[in-house]
């Protein structure tokens, strides 16, 4: 099939063949999936521009082969090129093979867009560093992802096509529980779970504070008297100072953690 990316009079027409593999096909139209796509366009165009014209964000790609040779996103397509585009291989070490990124993809630090508050809370519960606020625009999210080397989580594929965004996951699921499983599976993070190690409010790391310790004395004014009467073990956020203890809320959260663990492959 032939898909003209654009047409214009003047420059010579370049004709290339693209092939998307594995789950990248889910981002294509049904008639484009699992087959060669012959594209024609005038002048010069990079691999990144070509594949994103089909709705595939560059953050979903970890390996590009042009005529069998690994190339980067900036490679300028030439007439007759055959391009094979593969999804993120987080479970494999592509160092020395792929040219699309200088460093490995899997770094479990995230930033989530404004629509993913429940996902952010779930990932914090499981011990992951995720930056989330419900008031950020796309430009701010892209800047945080780029400046802090965070993986951007979103359901907006246009956001992931921004040139400054190097790391990102386009979420396919809508349910927060399933979204969490999607992130854990995509990045193979099951062995990195550290439940109850981060603050659910701000994402900061938690520190233990036993009854009678200096840390407890600092946090004591914010602990209800009825809780102090029976509880001897607390956790305090090093970032915002929020205090946690194992009450009924802990039992509910622990049940959720066990649901996640039971879903591990």
Residue in this structure with the two tokens 């005529």, named with its chain if needed: 67
Choose among 126, 115, 158, 139: nearest CA to 27.
158
pLDDT digit string, tens, across residues 72-106: 999 999 999 999 999 875 444 555 555 555 555 45
| CATH code assigned to 2-87 | 3.10.20.30
pLDDT digit string, tens, across residues 114-154: 999 999 999 999 999 999 999 999 999 999 999 998 999 99
Q: If you average pLDDT over every residue of the chain, what do you get?
A: 88
- CA separation for the pair 2, 35 (Å, rounded): 11
Specify the pLDDT at position 17. 96
The enclosing H or E element of 256 equals: helix 248-262
105: number of Cβ within 10 Å: 20
- The answer to whether the CB of 140 falls within 8 A of the CB of 182 is no
* Band of pLDDT at residue 4, cut at 50, 70 and 90: low
Q: Is 61 helix (H, G, I), strand (E, B) or coil?
A: strand
- Over residues 3-31, mean pLDDT: 81
Domains of the chain, by residue range, sit at 2-87, 109-192, 206-262
Specify the pLDDT at position 57. 95
Specify the pLDDT at position 200. 96
Q: In sequence order, which residues have a C-beta less than 8 Å from that of residue 221 and are 6 or more positions away?
A: none
- Over residues 23-31, mean pLDDT: 93
Between vectors from CA 130 to CA 125 and to CA 134, what angle results, nearest 5°?
A: 100
Q: Please say if the pLDDT value at position 11 is more than 90.
A: no
pLDDT digit string, tens, across residues 148-204: 989 999 999 999 999 999 889 999 999 999 999 999 998 889 999 999 999 999 999
Specify the pLDDT at position 37. 96
Q: In sequence order, which residues have a C-beta less than 8 Å from that of residue 183 and are 6 or more positions away?
A: 110, 119, 123, 153, 169, 171, 189
pLDDT digit string, tens, across residues 192-241: 999 999 999 999 999 988 777 887 788 888 888 888 888 888 899 999 98
């Amino acid at each position: 099939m032939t898909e003209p990316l654009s047409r214009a009079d003047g420059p010579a027409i370049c004709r290339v063949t693209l092939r998307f593999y594995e789950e990248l096909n889910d981002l294509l139209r049904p008639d484009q999936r699992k087959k060669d796509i012959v594209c024609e366009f005038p002048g010069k165009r990079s691999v990144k521009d070509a594949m994103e014209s089909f709705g595939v964000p560059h953050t979903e790609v970890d390996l590009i082969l042009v005529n069998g040779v690994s190339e980067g996103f900036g490679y300028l397509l030439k007439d007759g090129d055959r391009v094979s585009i593969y999804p993120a291989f987080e479970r494999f070490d592509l160092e020395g093979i792929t040219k699309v990124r200088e460093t490995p993809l899997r770094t479990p630090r995230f930033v989530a867009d404004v629509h993913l508050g429940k996902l952010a809370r779930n990932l914090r519960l499981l011990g992951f560093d995720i930056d989330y606020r419900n008031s950020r625009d796309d430009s701010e999210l892209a800047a945080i992802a780029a400046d802090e080397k965070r993986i951007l989580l979103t359901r907006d594929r246009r956001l992931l096509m921004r040139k400054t965004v190097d790391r990102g996951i386009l979420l396919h699921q809508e349910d927060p529980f399933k979204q969490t499983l999607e992130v854990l599976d995509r990045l193979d993070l099951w062995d990195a779970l550290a439940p109850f190690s981060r603050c659910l409010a701000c994402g900061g790391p938690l520190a233990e504070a036993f009854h009678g310790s200096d840390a407890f004395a600092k946090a004591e004014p914010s602990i209800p008297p009825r809780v102090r009467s029976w509880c001897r073990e607390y956790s305090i956020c090093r970032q915002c100072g929020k205090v946690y203890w194992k009450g009924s809320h802990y039992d509910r959260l622990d049940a959720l953690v066990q649901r996640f663990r039971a879903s591990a492959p």
